[in-house]
Amino acid sequence: MRSRFARRTAANWAGSGSYRWNWQPYRRNFPTDLFEDDDPPPPAPALADAVLDSLIATRASFLNLAASLHLKPRHFTCTLLTVVVHVATGDAVAAQLGDGTILNIEDLAPACPVPPPNSVDNPFTMADDDWRDGLRIAPTKAKGFLLMTDGAEAFFPEQGPACREMLMQPGDDAQHALRLLGWLQSLSKPGCEDDRTLAAILQAGRTT
């Protein structure tokens, strides 16, 4: 005689089989038979709109997390640097909230305007009700980016060429990361003690 557990397991597997069977109506000829009215789906949103939508959703999740932990949202705030690249067209959008910077790797120029401070001369964060007043989103055609906190930004653009040359050296991602870590730790400037976080986004197979 089978145990109750075995009977339940068999029933669950039967349900899974039924569930898979219910997907059969979607196995139709392409391209238009997928849509009941033969209308194509709406076009994808513009990159800038997609970035803004994602940041709005991120903020909602961020506030929910703070509420669930019974903590003030400001306890979780940080610099927000974002780059989105359309892999088919090469178009890109850079977005920044707070301090730090995003630089185009070719000329080391800012990829988007520097966000203003808030009313008390501090960087905007997602914890602010008026956070969008400090958000900057800009299109860019750059082929690579350097994203960094203010502790690393203090050494740029002067150290930009050395950083770019290091990134172009042969090696995998792990080797590049170790080189960058050692290089960041070697930099020195009086009064610069902030954290030094740097990320690089490059085209695959890029060479100089």
Q: What pLDDT sits at residue 36?
A: 60
Kindly report the backbone phi and psi dihedral angles of residue 102, in degrees, each rounded to the nearest multiple of 5, phi listed first.
Answer: -125, 120
Q: Is 102 helix (H, G, I), strand (E, B) or coil?
A: strand
Burial of 137 (0-12, 13-18, 19+ CB in 10 A): buried
Question: Which residues of the chain fall below pLDDT 70?
Answer: 1-41, 204-208
At 125-176, the pLDDT tens digits run 999 999 999 999 999 988 899 999 998 999 998 999 999 998 888 888 888 8
Q: What pLDDT sits at residue 78?
A: 84
Q: Find the Cα–Cα–Cα–Cα dihedral 126, 130, 136, 137, rounded to 10°.
A: 80
Instruction: Determine the angle formed by the axes of helices 160-167 and 173-186, rounding to 10 degrees.
Output: 160
Asked if 17 and 23 count as a contact pair (C-beta separation under 8 A), the reply is no
Q: What pLDDT sits at residue 203?
A: 75
At 129-143, the pLDDT tens digits run 999 999 999 999 888
